[in-house]
């Protein structure tokens, strides 16, 4: 066989492998297309719709863009929402597909982390297939079908991108600048994005390659300065978010049993939609993760991709802290929520990457990998089955709710609670959408 023919076949086989790896993207896209509904739901009525009149008249103010949502300042997602509304006319489907694009981008960044493990052979790319299937699972049904999940997917994408750029910050100031910008965008997309400053600092100060001490200190100092400024802007640019339930460190400390169960359900939620099974899955995953991290550190693995994998695990642990402090009293239904699964999925992916790197370092890695693979398989079966059921239910509920909202003139106000907990607040907003034939008033079936 000629060298050129062998090269062509090699490229073809690589293309086929890549197509297989990213096939879950296409499958999940079909899921989004089948079950998404052109129906403003819950926070949609509160985030963009009030600003639509300002968009039409060209009188947008900074307060319309730099808005607070719960504990987050959502400057950058709001820019995306408003730009999409301005270019396409307000519709819910546009942010849903944009959010899906950021989810796909997050998977691509995870693939770049995987490639840095430098596994030998073209067939080694197939080691990424479990990540692709697991990360794009339908367990995150709310994240796939709700337009407001754009906040989460933007924050996750830019957090992952920032961490990836940190890996090469010692090679080029361009990567360092990209890491700073990406972390800033993540911080003003979702409150969890602020934690990226801590992750970046840990890598730059403790895990980055050894080099000239002065250059490292310069980057750490610059990162600390910009991080402090960003956090100050975040804290002072938002009023205190009040909640109507018990919260705080003292409450968590006095309910350690509840906190432990909440944490295990949270960690196990990517593997099961049932709280009781999620507790078991969370405990199993926590054991696998702790042992994997121990061996990774004990074997002295200093590869950049391995260090990043440890930080993916830390990202999930960091995100658990605020939930234990502020959301724990809401119970297991809050911990098991599918909208958290998108971020939580990077934790098992980080453990998986660590175990792949450990395979030739310790025999224990093989057993841990088998145990994690069992969780992946059980979780994937549960995710696609429960996600299909949730998708059908979401679709049917929103189609029915869209019919009610379109007929709001002849409906009792309380009937509109299917769209928003404060139905009185959406009457004027629904009238604006009807008057300008936007969103659910554009199509007779509420979908396309």
Structural domain tally of the chain? 1
pLDDT tens, position by position, 219-241: 899 999 998 888 887 777 655 55
CA distance 278 to 336: 8
* Cβ atoms of residues 192 and 158 within 8 Å: no
Confidence band, pLDDT 50/70/90 cuts, at residue 328 = low
CA distance 48 to 9: 50
Average pLDDT on 58-63 reads 77
CA distance 113 to 101: 19
What local confidence, expressed as pLDDT, does residue 237 receive? 60
Region of 370 please: left (phi>0), alpha (psi -120 to 50) or beta: alpha
Is position 108 within any domain? yes
CA distance 413 to 254: 41
Mean pLDDT of the chain: 83
Is position 167 within any domain? yes
Residue 265: pLDDT above 70? yes
Angle at 297 between CA 293 and CA 302, to 5 degrees: 115
Is position 430 within any domain? no
Is position 147 within any domain? yes
CA distance 158 to 75: 14
Domain residues for the domain of 81 are: 3-396
Of residues 38 and 444, the one with the higher pLDDT is: 38
Q: Report which secondary-structure segment, H or E, holds 184.
A: helix 173-187
* Cβ atoms of residues 296 and 361 within 8 Å: no
Q: How many CB atoms lie within 10 A of CB 45?
A: 22
Cβ neighbors of 142 (< 8 A, separation 6 or more) are 149, 337, 338, 339, 390, 394
User: Percentage of the chain surpassing pLDDT 70?
Assistant: 87
What local confidence, expressed as pLDDT, does residue 179 receive? 93
Helices 93-115 and 346-358 cross at an angle (nearest 10°) of: 20
Helix (H/G/I), strand (E/B), else coil: 289: helix
Give the torsion sign (CA, 141, 146, 148, 154): positive
Bridge pairing between strands 68-69 and 72-73: antiparallel
CA distance 430 to 418: 14
Confidence band, pLDDT 50/70/90 cuts, at residue 2 = low
CA distance 447 to 410: 22
Q: Encoding tokens for residue 61?
A: 């103010």
Is position 423 within any domain? no
pTM for the complete prediction? 0.88
Is position 254 within any domain? yes
Is position 76 within any domain? yes
What φ, ψ does residue 22 adopt, rounded to 5°? Answer: -100, 10
What φ, ψ does residue 328 adopt, rounded to 5°? Answer: -60, -40
Confidence band, pLDDT 50/70/90 cuts, at residue 447 = very low
What local confidence, expressed as pLDDT, does residue 143 receive? 86
Least Cα distance to 197 among 179, 216, 171, 172 occurs for: 179
| Environment class of 164 (CB within 10 Å of its CB; exposed 0-12, middle 13-18, buried 19+) | buried
What local confidence, expressed as pLDDT, does residue 245 receive? 53
Residue 8: pLDDT above 50? no
Average pLDDT on 123-133 reads 86
Of residues 257 and 410, the one with the higher pLDDT is: 410
Confidence band, pLDDT 50/70/90 cuts, at residue 355 = very high
Q: What is the CA radius of gyration of the chain?
A: 23
What local confidence, expressed as pLDDT, does residue 28 receive? 93
* From 14-28, 127-141, 219-233, the region with the lowest mean pLDDT: 14-28
Average pLDDT on 376-405 reads 89
Residue 7: pLDDT above 50? no
What local confidence, expressed as pLDDT, does residue 445 receive? 47
Confidence band, pLDDT 50/70/90 cuts, at residue 9 = very low
Is position 95 within any domain? yes
């Amino acid at each position: 066989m000629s060298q050129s023919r062998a090269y062509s076949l090699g490229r073809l086989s690589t293309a086929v492998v890549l197509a297989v790896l990213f096939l879950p993207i296409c499958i999940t896209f079909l899921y989004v297309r089948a079950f998404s509904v052109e129906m403003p739901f819950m926070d949609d009525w509160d985030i963009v719709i009030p600003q639509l009149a300002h968009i039409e008249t060209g009188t947008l103010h900074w307060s319309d863009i730099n808005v607070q949502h719960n504990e987050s300042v959502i400057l950058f997602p709001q820019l995306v929402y408003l730009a999409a509304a301005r270019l396409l006319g307000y519709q819910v489907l546009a942010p849903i597909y944009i959010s899906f694009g950021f989810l796909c981008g997050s998977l691509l960044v995870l693939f770049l982390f995987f490639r840095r493990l430098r596994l030998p052979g073209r067939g080694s790319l197939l080691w990424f297939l479990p990540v692709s299937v697991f990360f794009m699972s339908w367990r995150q049904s709310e994240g796939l079908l709700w337009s407001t999940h754009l906040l989460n997917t933007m924050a996750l994408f830019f957090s992952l991108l920032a961490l990836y750029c940190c890996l090469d910050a010692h090679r080029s100031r361009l990567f360092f600048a990209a890491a700073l910008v990406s972390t800033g965008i993540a911080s003003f997309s979702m409150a969890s994005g602020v934690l990226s400053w801590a992750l970046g600092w840990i890598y730059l100060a403790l895990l980055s390659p050894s080099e000239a001490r002065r250059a490292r200190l310069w980057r750490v100092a610059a990162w600390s300065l910009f991080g402090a400024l960003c956090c100050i802007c975040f804290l002072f640019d938002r009023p205190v978010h009040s909640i109507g339930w018990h919260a705080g460190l003292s409450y968590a400390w006095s309910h350690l049993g509840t906190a432990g169960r909440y944490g295990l359900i949270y960690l196990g939620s990517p593997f099961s939609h049932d709280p009781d099974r999620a507790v078991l899955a969370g405990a199993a995953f926590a054991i696998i993760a702790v042992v994997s991290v121990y061996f990774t550190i004990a074997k002295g693995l200093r590869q950049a991709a391995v260090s990043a994998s440890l930080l993916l695990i830390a990202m999930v642990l960091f995100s658990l802290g605020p939930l234990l402090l502020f959301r724990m009293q809401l119970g297991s239904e809050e911990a098991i929520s599918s909208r958290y699964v998108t971020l939580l999925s990077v934790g098992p992916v980080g453990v998986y990457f660590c175990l792949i790197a450990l395979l030739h370092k310790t025999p224990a890695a093989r057993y841990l990998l088998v145990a994690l693979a069992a969780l992946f398989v059980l979780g994937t079966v549960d995710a696609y089955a429960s996600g299909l059921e949730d998708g059908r239910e979401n679709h049917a509920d929103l189609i029915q709710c869209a019919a009610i909202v379109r007929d709001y003139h002849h409906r009792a106000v309380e009937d509109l609670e299917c769209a928003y907990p404060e139905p009185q607040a959406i009457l004027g907003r629904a009238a604006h959408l009807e008057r300008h034939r936007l969103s659910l008033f554009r199509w007779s079936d509420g979908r396309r």
